[in-house]
């Protein structure tokens, strides 16, 4: 079964009353019968991917202050892990279903700076996080990464397409809290070295089906984001018969005409496709 996690919002507020009959799902442009549909009931594997460069410490403290409240949105059996990153990554806490203990661990993650280096390699961290998710998360679960970063970094030989591909291959959605001066970069300048690309978590999150929040108060954004990740819809349909291993297939998710009348400004976020495995 192909599983698609879907966020639907209007005026930046999640829409939570949709049913299976409100969605149309296509695979390579062909409509697919929806065989499973849920919201909140699927188990969740959530990996917190934390930029712990020096400028980020105050924001780590902000999410630590609200973490005990934020994890109340989770359900029994949901598992959370923590991965820190600088120039490379380090797992700070493996997936664990004791949410309060994970919340307590957040404040200590800044002590791992020497373990991860003093740069900010964002795409490399996303790729590592996707690989970790693929190896350690249950297949029949929602898979989400929540990155906290200022989006100020340069990726070396790890462009956005590589990060997006790793996420799609791991059936994982990237969500982002961007703090500080982390704006969305423009297109590369003519003659720019393609081996060195600016960080753009906005683009990577968008194409994996995730949400990006630009925030000054990381703690409040953290609480909002945990709730939003937990409230996504999960839609399932059978793998089409004409698939081939290794093939990339494009997914389309939209509302039915009747649902669009109820929510004319609805914005749908879902991963753009998947690799057949």
Is 19 a domain residue?
no
User: The CATH number of the domain where 68 resides is what?
Assistant: 3.40.50.410
- Predicted confidence at residue 271, as pLDDT, reads 96
Q: Where are the beta strands (DSSP E) in the chain?
A: 2-10, 13-14, 23-27, 30-31, 36-39, 44-51, 79-85, 89-96, 142-149, 154-156, 173-178, 196-198, 212-214, 233-237, 248-255, 267-269, 273-275
Q: Is residue 94 part of a domain?
A: yes
The answer to the question of residue 247 being in a domain is no
Cα(126)–Cα(132) distance, integer angstroms? 10
**Number of independent structural domains in the chain:** 1
For 18-63, what is each residue's pLDDT tens digit? 999 999 999 999 999 999 999 988 899 999 999 998 889 999 999 9
Full residue range of the structural domain in which residue 76 is found: 48-184+193-230
User: What does the pLDDT look like over 59-95, one tens digit per residue?
Assistant: 999 999 999 999 999 999 999 999 999 999 999 999 9
- Per the domain annotation, does 165 fall within a domain? yes
Sign, Cα dihedral of 91, 92, 97, 103: negative
In a domain, residue 180? The reply is: yes
Tell whether the model's pLDDT for residue 191 goes beyond 80.
Answer: no
How far apart CA 54 and CA 256 sit, in angstroms, is: 47
Q: Which pLDDT tens digit goes with each residue over 108-151?
A: 998 888 889 888 899 999 999 999 999 999 887 899 999 999 99
Classify residue 264: in a domain, yes or no. no
Residue 188 has pLDDT above 80, yes or no: no
What SS3 class is residue 231?
coil
Q: For residue range 207-217, what is the model confidence (pLDDT) as tens digits?
A: 999 999 999 99
Quick check: is 177 in a domain? yes
At residue 234 the predicted structure's pLDDT band, cuts being 50, 70 and 90, is: very high
Domain contains 251:
no
């Amino acid at each position: 079964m192909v599983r698609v996690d879907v966020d639907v919002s209007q005026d930046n507020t999640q829409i939570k009353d949709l049913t299976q009959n409100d969605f149309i799902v296509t695979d390579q442009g062909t409509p697919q019968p929806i065989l499973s549909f849920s919201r909140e009931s699927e188990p969740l594997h959530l990996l917190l991917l934390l930029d712990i460069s020096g400028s980020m410490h105050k924001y780590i403290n902000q999410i630590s202050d609200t973490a005990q409240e934020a994890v109340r949105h989770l359900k029994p059996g949901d598992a959370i892990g923590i991965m820190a990153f600088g120039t490379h990554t380090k797992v700070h806490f493996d997936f664990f279903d004791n949410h309060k203990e994970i919340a307590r661990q957040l404040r200590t993650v800044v002590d791992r700076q020497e373990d991860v280096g003093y740069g900010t390699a964002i795409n490399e961290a996303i790729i590592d996080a996707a690989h970790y998710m693929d190896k350690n998360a249950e297949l029949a679960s929602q898979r989400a990464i929540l990155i906290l970063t200022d989006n100020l970094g340069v990726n070396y030989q790890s462009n956005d397409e590589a990060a997006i591909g790793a996420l799609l291959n791991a059936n994982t959605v990237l969500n982002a809290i961007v703090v500080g001066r982390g704006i969305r970069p423009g297109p590369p300048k003519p003659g720019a070295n393609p081996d060195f690309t600016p960080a753009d978590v906005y683009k990577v999150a968008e194409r994996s089906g995730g949400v990006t929040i630009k925030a000054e108060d990381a703690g409040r954004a953290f609480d909002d984001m945990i709730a939003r990740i937990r409230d996504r819809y999960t839609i399932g349909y059978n793998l089409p018969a004409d698939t081939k291993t290794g093939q990339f297939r494009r997914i389309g998710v939209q509302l039915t005409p009747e649902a669009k009348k109820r929510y004319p400004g609805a914005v749908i976020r879902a991963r753009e496709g998947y690799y057949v495995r």
